[in-house]
Amino acid sequence: MKAEVTSAMAQIKFSTMMKEKQLLSFELFPPKTDKGMENLPVTIEHLCEFRPEYISCTYGAGGANVGRNMDVCKMIQNAGTIPVTHFTCIGNTREGIRDQLKMYLDHGIDHMLALRGDLPFGWTGTGGDFKYATDLVAFVRKEFGDKFEIAVGGSPEGHIASRSFETDIAVLKQKQDNGADYVMTQLCWDMEQFKRWLDAIRKAGVTLPVDVGVMPILDEAATINMALSRNACVMPRELCKIISKNWIFPNPFEKDPFDVAAEQKRADFKKAGMEYTIRQIDEYRALGVNGIHLYVLNKWKDVTEIINESGIRTIV
């Protein structure tokens, strides 16, 4: 029965649905261990209780984890919802991209997020045939027509590799012109900046629906790492206050801190961080964004609490 539902749902266009209602979706990553893969169906089952329109799955550089990515996409299908596979330029040739995407289509996976991808440590370029996501979008459209619905990344604070904020918006417009269907944003904790970006892309002629990526704030070290290691994200004063009030000495990255209150601080940070996340979801919903895309971090219990407290989707 679930396979029949998945097949019937495969032709749904999220870009069309977003014009009618605000969607809810989740992001997972393929676990590195066999035990993690064994546990993942339970996580997906709990997430599906909230009837998400789709669940996306990340993708390793050059298809490093393409096998596990495909396995996760199949788990999502088996649970009765639609998988969206991430797909990057890193280490990918034209032939490799063509063959991999044909494989996805053969398995009924026809939704993708087209990305340049984060450069692996030490790399100065993508190491593949395409330098940018704009090239990937154009290639997929040329090779496959409308067989894939294509989401593209959007950076409310500007991509860290972009020459300027204005350049980044121009690139987003180019993705639209090359055939993208909707935008899935990078994490952004600065709501005022998000509003400026949304206004700016609309003025630049970007009409694509915007599905907002929301990174739950659960762990102090992980929050700092996510903000600074790849994304150069601004942490607003309210978020900085949460970090400062619960600072673990000598630092949150220390495996064995000498701070005797470390465990209590971790718990207090998580509680305050979840409240911050819920307030941010409230603001995004009030802005009328087209979708909320929650990064699950493969932890269904925390996301369940956030959804229940925010009231964004109730179980019926």
By annotation, the residues acting in catalysis are 27
**160 CB contacts (<8 Å, ≥6 apart)?**
230, 231, 232
Judged by DSSP in three states, 1 sits in: coil
Alpha-carbon dihedral angle through residues 16, 19, 20, 25, given to the nearest 10 degrees = 70
Say how far residue 174 (Cα) sits from the centre of its chain.
21
Which single residue is written with the structure tokens 């969206």? 84
Phi, psi angle pair for 196, to nearest 5°: -60, -45
Q: How far apart are CA 49 and CA 314, in angstroms?
A: 9
Retrieve residue 24's tokens. Answer: 């809810």
**Residue among 195, 197, 172, 55 at smallest CA distance from 115:** 172
State how far the Cα of 7 lies from the Cα of 75, in Å rounded to an integer.
14
Neighbours of 41 (CB within 10 A): 14
Structure tokens at 314: 């109730």
> Contact 13/41 with Cβ under 8 angstroms?
no
User: What backbone phi and psi angles, to 5 degrees, belong to 203?
Assistant: -65, -30
144: which 2 tokens? 């496959």
